[in-house]
Amino acid sequence: MKKRITIITCSLLLIILIAVVWEWVYIKTTAKEEVFVLPRNFKGIVLIAYDQKDGMEDIKEDGKLVYKIPVNGILKLKRKEVTTLFKSWYFIENENGNRTVLNYCFPPCEEMRKETAKIFAFGGGNRIFFDEQLELKTSIFLVGTATDIDSLNKVYEKINAIELLKNSK
């Protein structure tokens, strides 16, 4: 009886170990590191549209995906799939190419309450938009100060990414 309990216990521990190792390998191989670079003085909604014929190829720096957001906030990528597991950094880039860290927070965060004039990246997520002919995969986030939260969230709730793309050409 003791031998049977030992075999069952060892089998369960082996299954748990395999599951933990598999999960770790999965996260290590699928998680992407992303860098979002915004133009100086940018405030508004950032829309990244995937599977765009006129989109850019992925840019990589030091093994990280780099998204250089244009002044209009709309970045078109050729890549078909949205990144789902990721670690992100946000920067503001001046005209000389120097980057300053842009903090990301989930509003209302304490730092936004303390520094109401400071610009943050916040909110958003991955969304899919549909019309009669199209399925559009996107990533969206917002950039602004504490006083911009409500107005940007209202725009985000009503956003029609398909129309934005048509009008951005």
Spans of all domains in the chain: 1-30, 32-167
Q: How far apart are CA 70 and CA 165, in angstroms?
A: 13
Has this prediction a pTM greater than 0.85? no
Closest-CA residue to 59 (of 89, 38, 36): 36
Q: pLDDT class for 123, splitting at 50, 70, 90? A: confident
Tell me the per-residue pLDDT of 58-112, one tens digit each, with 9 for 90 and over: 999 888 889 999 999 999 999 888 776 668 899 999 989 899 999 998 877 788 8
Q: How far apart are CA 131 and CA 8, in angstroms?
A: 54
CA dihedral 144, 148, 153, 154 (to 10 degrees): -140
Q: How far apart are CA 93 and CA 35, in angstroms?
A: 12
Judge whether 98 and 130 are in contact, CB under 8 Å: no
